[in-house]
Amino acid sequence: MSDQSDRPTDFINKQGTARFSRISFHWGILMPSDPQPAKAELRAAMLARRNALSPEEIREGSAAIARRVTALPLFAAAGTLCSFMAFGSEVHTAEIIHTALDEGKRVALPRTLMDEHRLVLHRIDNLERLRPGPYGILEPAPDAPVVDPAEVELFIVPGAVFDPAGNRIGYGAGFYDRLLAASDGGRMAVAFAFQVVPRVPAGEHDRPMNLIVTEQGVIDCARGWRSTDRLRLRNMHFYGHHGAFPQEREHGIRFAVDVDLRIDLQLPGMTDNLATTVDYPAIYRLIQRLQSARQFVLFEAMAEQIAGAILDEFPAVLEVTVVARKFNPAVDGPMDAFEVEITRSRPEWMKRCQGS
């Protein structure tokens, strides 16, 4: 579930049939070239997949998520909590809400103000007095006590798609981004594990999550851009016509490349799913394609091109170190190899826009 006034059934069904004309595919996920259209198409693809879940799958997954949420210190420490009521194929939240009430927490739920295009929070004491809102989603009564978002210590947030850095795609209207901007409270998303992909488009005003709780585990989004996890590819051997000397470019040389990728590995570690990590044969093919497409006079230029291409084609990679190694270089004496090493990372402005 996401922004309440964005969740009518006909919206979800229509979006679930969208085509993927502007999206390229990387390691089994949708990676957009144009953020706004791609957000809509990624949202549609994920909603279609979520809507295909059976009622039993939704119940079992939701129960596992509820157990994880209510066992977290962030949940235990929150005296005032804001949740949402599930709609359609969303993670069921009733068990989380009941536990919060049983523990004496102050619990708020959102109500949609259609004319003002925003959500207002109301305190509840039980779920019996809730009634359908504009789109059939259960909401508090208008006369229930209002809760200031600034007083909420923990928001339990819905959404269609997330990434491990906490970036979120809702249903497109920005209701929750506006609500979350009014509070410094913690932000915990609940979602099925397949709703978390390595990277989603994010804007400067999007509000990233602190935690994402799935039936398979908990992702600490604070690790996101600060992760020190590594994937390393060593001694990838190639043959190409590169070098500063005519004989190297004419006859070709043997060389090797090492690649060190800094990447958050929480998601692949949690899901054991190849589609959530970098496919290292694809890295090899990328380097082979680059070095075959042109002659490099300098290995410095080759290393620069490789690093840039990896950051362009694999959005989950936070930083890359490339070592390009030429064997038996032409010098006036014995020498095993000549190496160039460079490290490149994503620009700081991009990190700020993607939930750092």
Q: Which residues are catalytic?
A: 326
User: 184-194 as b/e, with b when 16 or more CB fall inside 10 Å?
Assistant: ebbbbbbbbbb
Consecutive H or E run containing 175: helix 175-181
As a whole number of Å, the end-to-end CA separation of the chain is 24
Nearest to 181 by CA among 267, 96, 118: 118
Phi-psi region of 128 (alpha: psi -120 to 50; beta: other; left: phi over 0): alpha
Rounded CA-CA distance 262/227 in Å is: 7
Structural contact between residues 90 and 51, judged by C-beta atoms closer than 8 angstroms: no
C-alpha to C-alpha distances, 59 to 51, 54, 81, 169, nearest whole angstrom: 13, 9, 23, 23
Nearest to 169 by CA among 20, 35, 52: 35
Tokens at 53, concatenated: 């879940």
